[in-house]
Amino acid sequence: MSPLERLCRWLLLGYPAWYRRERAEEMLGTLLEASPPGRKWPSFRDARALVAGGLRARGRTWSLSMLWVVIGAGGAIYATVVLSQPDYNEVLLIPPTVEWAGEPQVIYWVGQIAELAWLLLSVPVLVAGFVRLRGWRPRRWVRAAAWAGSWVAGLALMGQAADWVGAGLGATRGVLSVRELAICAAWLLLGGAMTWILAVPPARRSDVPSTSGQASGNGSPHVVEDPTGIAGHATGVGQPR
């Protein structure tokens, strides 16, 4: 395996497993054929197209849930920093907000916006995942239940981090909270679990964001395009029946 092929395969991991099974070899073959001999790295344009295509193939529900997870993990890191500061105080009750002496205002306001965004995203994440999985169908109830469980786990992680920060109010010295770092790691594991739960093909092929059919004007077979625009046309395009 050449270095170029190895790197391209790594980039293709950004696509869901079901999509890679259907299209990865075709896309990889097209990339290798279009690359000059001896190239060891994919071009910036191809790499960008693969990354963007992978995000489109995973869909908006995955992007929304990963934003929710990243904010949660960032909140755990912020809590770790807060606990390392002596004499931090609670400045707002709803939403729960703390501030330490000398905290840069930009960090304070970023934390405020992130906390509000996490709260506002919570219900849409749950509903979007249920709709994406078609959770009302009997064959999908297991994944739908797993999705609901992962959502509840996210709430529990955020609540536990807030409880530990609240318990440290009034402390005279800062500490390095390993527990908060463990919550950050748990958020990352939760993101992997949510990614796995969503890694199923859409119930309707028309819902697949990464493929689209086009017909040529002479009765030729449909052309199937991947979201990157780098995969070649289907065999027989432009040929008469």
Q: Up-side HSE of residue 237: CA atoms within 13 Å toward CB?
A: 12
For residue 89 the two structure tokens come to 């105080």
Q: pTM here?
A: 0.73
Pairing verdict, β 89-92 and 223-225:
unpaired
C-alpha to C-alpha distance for 52 and 236, rounded to whole angstroms: 28
For residue 23 the two structure tokens come to 């299209």
- DSSP per-residue string spanning 79-119: HHHHHTSTT-EEEETTTTEEE-TT--HHHHHHHHHHHHHHH
Please tell me which of 41-50, 106-115, 126-135, 207-216 the model is most confident about, judged by mean pLDDT: 126-135
In this predicted model, which residue has the larger pLDDT, 204 or 47? 47
Q: Residues 99-134: pLDDT tens digits?
A: 777 778 888 888 889 989 999 999 999 999 999 988
Q: Using alpha carbons, select from 69, 98, 63 the residue that is nearest to residue 84.
A: 98
Residue 122 contacts residue 115 (beta carbons within 8 Å)? no
- Mean pLDDT, the chain, rounded, equals 77
C-alpha to C-alpha distance for 78 and 84, rounded to whole angstroms: 10
Residues 6+ apart with CB under 8 A from 60: 128
pLDDT at 210: 42
pLDDT at 124: 96
For residue 9 the two structure tokens come to 């395969």
Q: Residues 151-177: pLDDT tens digits?
A: 999 999 998 888 877 766 665 555 566
Q: Which residue has the tokens 């105080």?
A: 89
Q: Which residue has the tokens 């707002």?
A: 92
- DSSP per-residue string spanning 17-83: HHHHHHHHHHHHHHHHHHSPTT--S--HHHHHHHHHHHHHHHHHHHHHHHHHHHHHHHHHHHHHHHH
Residue 92 burial (C-beta neighbours within 10 Å; 0-12, 13-18, 19+) = exposed
**How confident is the model over 229-234, as a mean pLDDT?**
46
Which 3 state secondary structure label does DSSP give 212? Answer: strand
